[in-house]
Chain A
Amino acid sequence: MTDNKDTLGQTADAVAPPPPRKRRLSDTLKALRKAPLSAKFGLVVIVFYVVMAIFAPVLTPFGESEIVSNEYEPWGVEVAHETAGGGSETVTLMLGTDNLGRDMLTRLLYGARNTIGIALLTTCLAFLLGGVGGILAATLGGWPDQILSRIIDVLMAIPALIFALLLLTIFGTSVTTLVLVIAVLDSTRVFRLARAVSLNVVVMDFIEAARLRGEGLGWITLREILPNIMPPLVAEFGLRFCFVFLTIASLSFLGLGLQPPTADWGSMVRDNATLITYGDITPLLPAAAIALLTVGVNFVVDWFLHKTSGLRDDQ
């Protein structure tokens, strides 16, 4: 910010021409157009995945765990399939079949649904827990802060994946426990971040003003603090989503994540791993799907981080 925009003072600043009003929507579009190539690529990837996940039932004629042919069919094999009307049609299995003779492409599409859906739910939950905890700790200070922070320290002291394995073995491997366990473990990181950035906001005069006004905790945390810490939290959301997503995939690969017959990229790699021995790259496809999404999300998050940190001088 150059100093020519500070004060356009006339004899009284009340009559000064107001600084130009920013138009938010067109600004967003402009920023999007000016985004680096990597960010645009990331956005395209994310949009592509979301569309695939949402429209999976439309995009494939088969059911999620329907056995359509023999196991380990090669790419491009043709099978006959009964349509809803009772007739029959010939469908090309572009990516062949898996170890139980299910269509690989169908499993990939449904896998996107399950893996991304559950990862998103888990991340949201982690942010709810960690975010609220972090802001509260920063706002209240004193012993509530001490207690919350020490609990988080204890949780973080145990290696996350091993802890998750332990908890899943104890509580069983339903989707609910999976979501809860990963959410709680990941919320520790969110807590740390939310607390740190909130601490910077809590010392501001406008928080003091709100306290002196007699505002309750809800208003101070949600209306005064939260809007000011959104940029770092949103950036963290992107990264956290990737980690959750990878954790689910790893747990599934180890057999403690989503349980068969639910399609899931992690277990798909494990189930078809033997094919690699024969020089078939099919089991690598779900792995590639994971990698691509992770890269895409990271590109977008990088760009967002860059944008928000650049905006800081402007504010």
Chain B
Amino acid sequence: MTSSDNHDMLLTMRGLRIEGQSDDEWSEIVKGVDIDLHRGEVLGLIGESGAGKSTIGLAAMGYARPGCKISGGEIIFDGINLLEISEDERRKLRGVRIAYVAQSAAASFNPAHRLIEQFTEGPVEHGVSNRATAESDAKTLYGKLLLPDPDNIGYRYPHQVSGGQLQRAMTAMAMACRPDLIIFDEPTTALDVTTQIEVLATIKNIVEEFNTAAIYITHDLAVVAQMADRIKVLRFGETVEEADTRTIMSHPTEDYTKTLWAVRSFKKESEGVAKSVKPLVSVKNVTAAYGDVPVLHEVSFDIYRGKTVAVVGESGSGKSTTARVITGLLPPREGAVYVNESKLPGDYRRRSKDQLRHAQMIYQMADTAVNPRHRIRDIIGRPVAFYLGLSGNQLEQRIRDLLSMIELEPDVYIDRYPGELSGGQKQRICIARALAAEPEFIICDEVTSALDQIVAEGILKLLDRLQRELDLAYMFITHDLATVRAISDEVVVMLEGRIVEQGPREEMFKPPHHKYTDLLLSSVPEMDPDWLDELMAQRQREGVMESASSS
């Protein structure tokens, strides 16, 4: 299917400019970016949100999202200027010669059709193949992508397969017409680490096997280091730096690239826990269920004053449920939560104001955690007024102190609405709201997973500083082991509602581990470009892969 063109160059973008519309004003999102992509080459696009990565990725198909327009430059795909041909001709290229894999496979599949029907739609519609051939091809590709039972999995509906499998099914779909170019837009961002690694490995293999060129968009450096031959760093719609992967990983030249590279270097000082100290919060033998579905089995751990306990596990492992039990939203079936050795009532409605005050919560999605119709003043001021009874000037002063504490300028932010803040700033407001209650203990539920790495690191540093200043205890729920490594004193690893391993951080990151902890730890991508290949080779030897993908 690949045209036997002599030119090695597949895609060229020159001075690409894209404008986006907001509030009836057009502003430039992409400001003159050049891209050269050879056949069979993988280019990594990396940058924070707002850098224009996805917009550029879509532009490679000659497409601009509604509300965006390509305002300048040229996009030449295999000798065809995509901006000069008609929409109809562009549509003929898309799906056949250029394919796209979106971030959320779950949202991109039509839930009403079987996977294989959606697979065959492209080739049949474009006249590349007929239904029967396309179906048998689908099965071959499912096999190549290591999906279990490749002959039959296609006859399932999207909700009947797991997230990682769905993402691989989507990659298979993109491969259906054997395109020359595939654009991967953060394909593994929504997945657990252990799932992510399988998807990465299979994507890498298949792209190599068919000699497909790819643009791989991500904000995760360690991931892009595994996938890309060359990396382009973007910021505010402009190229910061571009070089081949090994060079840019070892010798970044621009300051901005260096800060990106340094993101995962933050690590707080941990002195370990003196065993003589009494725990601030004790979760003792908690068993809980949603209706008849048991979710937690005999969970026990302690949280000490001024320390952080990181609770790690995949989605569905019971991490957030544990938090719900502690806050009282889900009264446990058995066991109880103790604070300062006194038993808390299971239901939050039966807890005293003081008991409620001492356990505050910070949520994953700052967007939904603050009321969009309240000003920052009210969001932070309410707990102060509610718990501490301050009013007038004292209240105003306290709000300003809290804003300074979270490193936001009080005069600028105090009268704003959450919609007028960025994601990281909103998360800071949530932290301030938790601090406003003057708690002893804060539950952080995936507080950084919705944020860019640089912003996330800022939040982690802030939390660390506040912990030292205010002697706070944190329970840190996360699936990201890099975060665990950065901020925890103790680690609790959960799997299917049970604690499989727990202990101080230093011990947890040293072998020997429980089998699951080991799988989790080894799945965290490292900056080394050879890491994925070596790991997959090692796992193949040990047969870990089979046990992981069979679950």
> A residues within 8 Å of B by Cβ?
1-9, 11-14, 16, 18-19, 21-22, 204-206, 208-209, 211-215, 223-224, 227-228, 230, 314-315
Contacts and interface: CB of A to CB of B under 8 A. Distances in A.
A18 B54 contact: no
A14 B428 contact: yes
B462 to A, nearest CB: 8
Contact of B20 (A4, A211, A214): A4
B433 A215 contact: no
B408 interface: yes
Contacts of A228: 371-373
A3 to B, nearest CB: 5
B468 interface: no
Interface stretch (B93-101, B295-303, B334-342, B413-421): B413-421
Q: When A and B form their complex, which 8 residue pairs have the shortest distance between CB atoms, in order from nearest?
A: A2-B20, A227-B373, A13-B424, A14-B407, A205-B369, A12-B458, A4-B29, A205-B363
10 contacts: A3-B20, A4-B20, A6-B423, A7-B50, A16-B425, A205-B369, A206-B368, A214-B348, A228-B371, A314-B419
A4 B20 CA distance: 8
Interface residues of B, number: 62
Contact of B27 (A4, A19, A211, A230): A4
Given A18-B420, A19-B422, A206-B371, A1 B458 contact: no
Contacts of A215: 386
B386 A19 contact: no
Interface string B309-350: 000000000000000000111000000000000000000100
Contacts of A16: 422, 425
Among B27, B68, B371, B424, residue most surrounded by chain A Cβ atoms (within 10 Å): B371
B412 interface: yes
Interface in B1-38: 20-23, 27, 29
Nearest to B451: A7
Interface in B433-467: 433, 437, 451-452, 454-455, 458, 461
Contacts of A21: 416, 420
Contact of B422 (A7, A22, A211, A214): A7
A30 to B, nearest CB: 10
A21 B363 CA distance: 26
A251 to B, nearest CB: 38
B52 A4 contact: yes
Contact of B454 (A11, A206, A209): A11
A274 B356 CA distance: 72
B50 A206 contact: no
Chain B CB within 10 A, most for which of A6, A7, A13, A21: A13
B120 interface: no
Contact of B420 (A1, A6, A11, A19): A19
A13 B386 contact: no
Most buried by A among B20, B27, B67, B368: B368
Contacts of B21: 2
B205 interface: no
Q: Looking at chain B's contact residues, is the secondary structure mostly helix, strand, loop, or mixed?
A: mixed
Given A212-B327, A215-B386, A8 B50 contact: yes
Contacts of A18: 412-413, 416, 420-421
Nearest to A18: B412
B365 interface: yes
Given A6-B50, A211-B348, A227-B374, A204 B386 contact: no
Contacts of B27: 4
A139 to B, nearest CB: 13
Contacts of B23: 314
Contacts of B135: none
A19 B50 CA distance: 13
B425 A13 contact: yes
Given A7-B424, A18-B413, A209 B50 contact: no
A13 B22 contact: no
A12 B424 CA distance: 9
B48 A9 contact: yes
A212 B423 contact: no
Contacts of B458: 11-14
A6 B49 contact: yes
Given A205-B369, A212-B327, A228-B371, A3 B48 contact: no
Contacts of A3: 20, 29, 49-50, 52, 54-55
A2 B28 CA distance: 10
Nearest to A207: B371
A13 B455 contact: yes
A19 B422 CA distance: 8
Nearest to A229: B373
Contacts of B452: 7, 9
A315 B368 CA distance: 11
A33 to B, nearest CB: 13
Contacts of B259: 11
Given A4-B29, A213-B386, A213-B387, 14 more contacts: A3-B50, A3-B54, A3-B55, A9-B422, A12-B455, A12-B458, A14-B428, A18-B412, A18-B413, A18-B421, A206-B371, A212-B327, A228-B371, A228-B372
B432 to A, nearest CB: 12
B166 interface: no
B372 to A, nearest CB: 6
A4 B68 CA distance: 11
Contacts of B428: 13-14
B437 A205 contact: no
A9 B368 contact: no
Contacts of A1: 22
Given A4-B20, A213-B437, A224 B328 contact: no
B361 A209 contact: yes
Contacts of A22: 420
Given A4-B237, A213-B437, A228-B371, A14 B329 contact: no
B346 to A, nearest CB: 14
B353 interface: yes
A14 B427 CA distance: 11
Given A214-B356, A215-B386, A9 B369 contact: no
B383 interface: yes
Nearest to B365: A205
Contacts of B408: 14
A113 to B, nearest CB: 35
A95 to B, nearest CB: 46
A223 B421 CA distance: 21
B363 A209 contact: yes
B370 interface: yes
Most buried by B among A3, A228, A315: A3
A223 B369 CA distance: 15
B50 A4 contact: yes
B371 A227 contact: yes
A1 B412 CA distance: 23
A205 B374 contact: no
Contact of A5 (B50, B372, B373, B407): B50
Interface in B57-71: 67-68
A24 to B, nearest CB: 10
Contacts of A212: 327-329, 348, 356, 359, 361
Contacts of B54: 3
B421 A19 contact: yes
A63 to B, nearest CB: 47
